[in-house]
Structure 1
Amino acid sequence: MVMSAEEDHHSPDCDNTCLSDEYMRLEPNEVTFIDLFKFLFLKDNKKWEFIKTESLKKDKINPFDYPNEEPKFIDHKENNKKKQSSKPFEYRWIVFVCIFIQKLLLFDSKPFKYRWIVFVCIFIQKLLQFVSKPLSWAGSKFEMWLNICSRNGNISGLLLKLLRWEIIEIPETDSENYFSFIGCLDKRMELPNHIKHGDPTYYSSIAVMASKLSYENQSHVKKIVTDFWKMEFKGFYDFWNDYQDKPTTQAFIFINKNVEPELTVVAFRGTETFDADAWCTDLDLSWFDLEKIMGKGTGKAHCGFMKALGAKKGQGWPENIEEEKGEVLKKLAYYEIRKILKEVFRENDKGRFIVTGHSLGGALAVLFPAILSHHNEKDLLKRMEGVYTFGQPRVGDEEFGNFMTKMFREHEIGYHRFVYGNDIVPRLPYDDTTLMFKHFGSCILFDSSYIGDVVDDEPNKNYFSRKWFWKKIKIACKELKRSFTIAREKSDDYKEGWMLMFIRMVGLVCPGFSAHSLRDYDNSVRLGLDDVFSRHKHKLCHYN
């Protein structure tokens, strides 16, 4: 089943190129909240304009039809209408309760399950669209408050300055000293001193730091890369999303010329906490049918991620595109990054590169070589050292995973997918018979003690398992306790601030959300990765 945030109204061929005809597409802009609730419980879906699907028209199959044993709601015979309308409220309440319970009992049946997934997906996207501007405004004010506190000695120092009538430092949002919300949770920006080029953990260390830095503004990124890391800053980019009609994908590129061969790093930004557009990208669960453009055996990929990577509206993935000129320079991520990499390797034909990212950024990182393969970019693929992702969601079906595994092995590209503890994001979208998303390759899994292991898949793969509920609460309690002790046990570099401690407390109620923090991934690489590589070198040396 497929769900999509948008459809190209101007080019009907786009859907035939990009989206699978075997699955439906949804358009949240064409439905109201009231219609959504009606859709969830009413049997007839022919009037719902926000559901678009070619296969249903072609095959005359309705996945929302309930089985014959589905309970009838109320007999609508003409001779019963007056009787029903005259019944007291108690009668109507009994009917409501009975039907509601029967709906719950039918939840495992595919028709109602389909409706429920559509309902939740579209409802959240509609809600995000509704609160997009106030969410962005509130997020920017909250970030500014965190930065003001940080620049003025935290809350106690700020209050002291106010009492003394001293000047309060207020940073500019685009300054090199301004931190994003993600950055405020972990301000460590220096590369670990004990990790050197040639160490098995070198690429992972630089990848996790780049993934963390990708959430900052351009001035901040440039300062860290040039002044702290002593590397060449190539550029910071706001890439256009042709489907959302705005720049919503960010990435930066830098080159380490202090090593041989030179290493170019491409880091994609993940989902920002207060960015509704990025959350809508995550929730666009339409399938992008790769078999239509790449041939049999390539499977299907998450359409929201494909759009963010640079799929061309109305065309899909043409090998080359003409750059659109106008007031806004509409550069698409994949095409621009590919062009920059080719320019870099024309100057140094022995260079190598890696792609990395956290969360949504990890999804874009792993899809990037898939499109390179589609365009037969063998020269770039042979220069790719590896893909390093942290808290990456699932990006495709099982067939796509098999295709990617074969392609990585053919070009000897390392694929290192890091998962920390009960992080919820790598366990989404669901790996089940309804959504059919699947991870591929091995998983480098770290527990709450930052002890790592290499596993085929993370435990509790769909997160909401009842048998894991108390285990997750217990682990969240351990993580909160660790916040108060880790600095004493390790060093002051691992000291956690009050904001992160608060998020750990939220994790007691919603275990798995706090585990998505990049701080835990950075700690895992710093403290536990050496041991993982020493024990599983045979699995991690090239690809997994």
Structure 2
Amino acid sequence: MDSKCNKSFCSDYMLLKPEEAGLVDVFRILFSDDIGKRKFIDCPEGKRPEPFKRRWLIFVTILVQKLLLAVEKPMAWFGSLVEQWLNLLSSNGSLSSLVLNFLRGKVIYPDKTTTSFKSIIGHIDNRRELDDKINQGDKRYNAALSMMAAKLSYENKAYIESTVDYWKMEFLGSYDFWNDYQEKSTTQAFMFNDQNDKIVVAFRGTEAFDANAWSTDFDISWYKIQGFGKVHGGFMKALGLQRNQGWPREQVADKKQEVAYYAIRKILKQLLQKNEKAKFIITGHSLGGALAILFPAILAFHQETWLLERLEGIYTFGQPRVGDENFGEFLKEELRKYNIDYYRLVYCFDMVPRLPLDDSTFLFKHFGTCVYYNSFYEGKIVAEEPDKNYFSLRWLIPKIINAIWELIRSFIISYTRGADYEEGGLLRLLRVIGLLTAGLPAHCPQDYVNATRLGPSEVYLSELS
């Protein structure tokens, strides 16, 4: 697919194509240092020798992506089945009520387009209310509001609109955006006004049973743009990278569907021109966090000074790495220039912020203010989250001990913190799975919502940015 695309906008690139990788060819990469010979790697023509460590990471990444591709349809089917079952139970009240309604012939069947239908994320954490203890002047306000918006982004349009209305805020729209490379809608976002001259843009993150989205998180493909640095290829495509033009200042006129970056930029300009006092913040969880930080990067690339001056802050939760050190330095300078706060929140052993790997060869790097929370929701500013690449054996025992504690905590937190923090059976099941893979339940929005509500306000002092 990518081999047909014009890459003249970048000075170098390496794109992995797991769908074209045969197992024999994948294993050959371990014994030949020239990755340019492999048909599942798209890179500039000519000899491309790479050290073994980098080839080993490519090998592992391709195998993970091939596994995800193999289970894409059954994974989506299973996810849809689970989601329907959870909504069937909630629509009828309980399992016993469902059985009774079935016997009466009065079963209430869920409708995916209604305000009562919730995603799996919504069933894991069914909190809809904002924390009434966090007001506009609280240093946690932007982070707490952003996290609830990031969690809400996983829901359908009707549910999002009704919830924003429930918050007594102004719903501005929910959108599905086109991916020019995959030729389908793969990126979602919604916007609202908090009625205090603050517009919130929330990107949807990695859905639990979306194999394509998980594959993007594990991908280590990249483009290198002169003066901009090396940036994650999959995230660029999701945000709106143009197949034949890269990042032109305006979207190509003959495109039938709008992509995320250009559409959101246009909407923001229209909204902000109507209200000279208004500013905006950007947020997202998981993949949504990657898009949230990449959006202002492209604004800076296009020298959209007027919009950057109206951008107040970026708040991401469980965000994967999006670029190399040069990209981080470029964007840090732009954020400093326009006095934009950027907080990257990481809960405990969440796996996704540790991806793609930050190793001595690929050099994907985090940047900005990292607010790290342990499993007691104690937050502090750190240069890098511990166990930065997740797979270190040194952290294996601490992760297991922490997972045991989180499972115990799920039964007592409603007594120690209040009824708003009660965890249901679905999340407790994930906590059990976390005994084997601690990084998965730690990625759930539940703990990020808890962190923004229970963590210290001091970590959001702007001077720490």
* TM-score (normalised: structure 1): 0.82
Separation in 2 of the partners of 1:323 and 1:184? 41
Separation in 1 of the partners of 2:411 and 2:291? 35
> In the alignment, is residue 17 of structure 1 matched against residue 9 of structure 2?
yes
- In structure 1, what is the equivalent of residue 462 of structure 2? 541
- In structure 2, what is the equivalent of residue 72 of structure 1? none
Q: 2:21 aligns with which of 9, 18, 31?
A: 31
Partner-residue secondary structure (3-state), 1:356:
strand
> In the alignment, is residue 204 of structure 1 matched against residue 152 of structure 2?
no
Q: Is the 8 A contact 1:323 1:331 kept in 2?
A: no
C-alpha displacement of 1:520? 0.2
> In the alignment, is residue 243 of structure 1 matched against residue 190 of structure 2?
no
Q: 1:62 aligns with which of 41, 49, 55?
A: 49
Q: Deviations over 1:51-107 (max 9, x none)?
A: 33226x1xx4522xxxxxxxxxxxxxxxxxxxxxxxxxxxxxxxxxxxxxxxxxxxx
Partner-residue secondary structure (3-state), 1:479:
helix
Q: 2:190 aligns with which of 240, 243, 252?
A: 252
- In structure 2, what is the equivalent of residue 216 of structure 1? 155
Instruction: Name whichever of 151-160 and 511-520 sits farther off.
Output: 151-160
C-alpha displacement of 1:29? 3.1
Which amino acid letter does the alignment assign opposite residue 276 of structure 2?
D
Q: 2:345 aligns with which of 401, 411, 418?
A: 418
Which amino acid letter does the alignment assign opposite residue 461 of structure 1?
K
C-alpha displacement of 1:167? 2.1
C-alpha displacement of 1:337? 0.3
Q: Deviations over 1:477-529 (max 9, x none)?
A: 11100100011112111111000000001001111211111000000111113
> In the alignment, is residue 270 of structure 1 matched against residue 209 of structure 2?
no
Q: 2:396 aligns with which of 458, 469, 479?
A: 469
Partner-residue secondary structure (3-state), 1:194:
coil
Instruction: Name whichever of 268-277 and 39-48 sits farther off.
Output: 39-48
Q: Is the 8 A contact 2:147 2:449 kept in 1?
A: yes
Unaligned runs of 5+ in 1: 1-5, 64-109
C-alpha displacement of 1:179? 0.6
Q: Is the 8 A contact 2:220 2:232 kept in 1?
A: yes
Partner-residue secondary structure (3-state), 1:125:
helix
Q: Is the 8 A contact 2:33 2:49 kept in 1?
A: no
Which amino acid letter does the alignment assign opposite residue 194 of structure 1?
K
Separation in 1 of the partners of 2:191 and 2:224? 29
Separation in 1 of the partners of 2:394 and 2:375? 19
Number of positions where the alignment pairs a residue of Structure 1 with one of Structure 2: 465
- In structure 2, what is the equivalent of residue 179 of structure 1? 118
C-alpha displacement of 1:34? 3.9
Separation in 1 of the partners of 2:452 and 2:38? 49
Separation in 1 of the partners of 2:184 and 2:374? 39
Instruction: Name whichever of 29-38 and 444-453 sits farther off.
Output: 29-38
Q: Deviations over 1:249-276 (max 9, x none)?
A: 000011122x2xx110000000111112
Partner-residue secondary structure (3-state), 2:71:
helix
Q: What does residue range 95-174 of structure 1 map to in structure 2 within 5 Å?
A: 110-111=51-52, 113-162=53-102, 165=104, 167-174=106-113
- In structure 2, what is the equivalent of residue 455 of structure 1? 382
C-alpha displacement of 1:37? 3.5
Partner-residue secondary structure (3-state), 1:240:
strand
Separation in 2 of the partners of 1:351 and 1:543? 24
Distance 1:40 1:360, change over 3 A: same
Q: Is the 8 A contact 2:343 2:371 kept in 1?
A: yes
Separation in 2 of the partners of 1:148 and 1:412? 48
C-alpha displacement of 1:201? 1.1
Distance 1:427 1:26, change over 3 A: closer
* Larger-gyration structure (1/2): 1
Q: Deviations over 1:422-462 (max 9, x none)?
A: 11111111111122111112211111111111111111111
C-alpha displacement of 1:16? 2.9
> In the alignment, is residue 435 of structure 1 matched against residue 347 of structure 2?
no
Separation in 1 of the partners of 2:188 and 2:339? 27
C-alpha displacement of 1:316? 0.9
Q: What does residue range 307-322 of structure 1 map to in structure 2 within 5 Å?
A: 307-322=237-252
Partner-residue secondary structure (3-state), 2:65:
helix
TM-align CA RMSD: 1.9
C-alpha displacement of 1:288? 1.9
Q: Is the 8 A contact 2:16 2:220 kept in 1?
A: no
Q: Is the 8 A contact 2:231 2:327 kept in 1?
A: yes
Partner-residue secondary structure (3-state), 1:24:
strand
Partner-residue secondary structure (3-state), 2:400:
helix
- In structure 2, what is the equivalent of residue 287 of structure 1? 222
> In the alignment, is residue 366 of structure 1 matched against residue 293 of structure 2?
yes
- In structure 2, what is the equivalent of residue 492 of structure 1? 419
Partner-residue secondary structure (3-state), 2:438:
coil
C-alpha displacement of 1:38? 4.4
Partner-residue secondary structure (3-state), 1:221:
helix
Separation in 2 of the partners of 1:460 and 1:309? 29
Q: Is the 8 A contact 1:324 1:330 kept in 2?
A: no
Separation in 1 of the partners of 2:71 and 2:359? 31
Which amino acid letter does the alignment assign opposite residue 29 of structure 1?
E
Separation in 1 of the partners of 2:14 and 2:318? 28
Unaligned runs of 5+ in 2: none
